[in-house]
Structure 1
Amino acid sequence: MKKLLSILMIGVLFMSTAWSQQKAKEVEFYQGSYDDFLRKAQKLHKPVLIDFWASWCGPCKKMDNETFGDSDLAAYLEDNFMVYRVDIDSYDGMEIVERFGVEVFPTVLVADYRGREVTKLTGFYSPKYFKSSLEKINERNHLYYELGSSQYASNK
């Protein structure tokens, strides 16, 4: 009985370790000032997403958990965008809200790598619909693209 119990405990420990290593990747928001965020986006030539968020906003929390918690979306955003979160209740956040005229929460502002607004997405978006919307915005505005080796300049 003791042997069976110890084997069961080892199995549970193994399974919990394996599960914790397979946790879904979440969207990683830039940690730092808004100005530093824009400088890095310009340096990397990556378009930006700015998530306007509040702790008291139910749809903001839902989008945070369901949309920004999706591993496929997280990988897509990491490859194609710099992502920043604005807490609209902070002093700096209120200033950024005013700068872009954001009136509805949640709002995700899509901008080019220089921080020039392209469009705003307002309200809750599921992960698949959010990704699809961003792909359509890119098709119209050419915010990002993948270069094939034949498209690079050569020194010949």
Structure 2
Amino acid sequence: MKKIVFFVIVSIILTGCIEKESVKTGSIEWKNYEEGMDSAYSNEKPVIIDFYADWCEPCKKMDEQLYTNEDIIKKAENFIMIKVNADENRELAINYGIQYLP
């Protein structure tokens, strides 16, 4: 269920930026898992968790192109944005059902 919710949220965000160019100005405030979940509970905000790996080229492209997009940055303000290295946090990735990276 967590995996489905995660992918639905990411899909909604991605839908808003397909084939759309915008000025790259700000940046997303990423939190680690523990800090992000604590913040989500205390602020009653939904979370988006980005599982990545240092070797993952599509992950790097998302960092360079998607997460620097002004529209995405603005929408991300409505969420607690959490970034998790799937290689360093295998158990957490397994708990969320992450089998593949983008």
Cα distance in 2, alignment partners of residues 26 and 37 from structure 1: 16
Q: State the distance in 2 between where 1:42 and 1:49 align.
A: 13
- After the TM superposition, list the runs of 4 or more consecutive aligned residues in structure 1 that deviate by more than 3 angstroms: none
Decide which of 71, 96, 118 is 2:92's aligned counterpart.
96
The structural deviation recorded for 1:25 is 0.8
- The one-letter code sitting in structure 2 at the alignment partner of 1:27 is I
Higher RCO, 1 vs 2 (CA within 8 Å, ≥6 residues apart): 2
Tell me if 1:38 matches 2:59: no
Gaps of 5+ in 2: 1-22
Aligned identity (percent) is 35
Note the residue ranges of structure 1 that are not aligned, 5 or more in a row: 1-21, 107-156
CA change 1:23–1:68 in 2 (3 A) is closer
Give TM-score, length-normalised by structure 1. Answer: 0.48
Please identify the structure whose Cα radius of gyration is greater. Answer: 1
Please, what TM-score do these two structures have when normalized by structure 2? Answer: 0.71
Task: Note the C-alpha offset of 1:35.
Answer: 2.6
Q: CA RMSD in A?
A: 1.7
Query: How many corresponding residue pairs?
Result: 80
Amino acid at match of 1:77: A
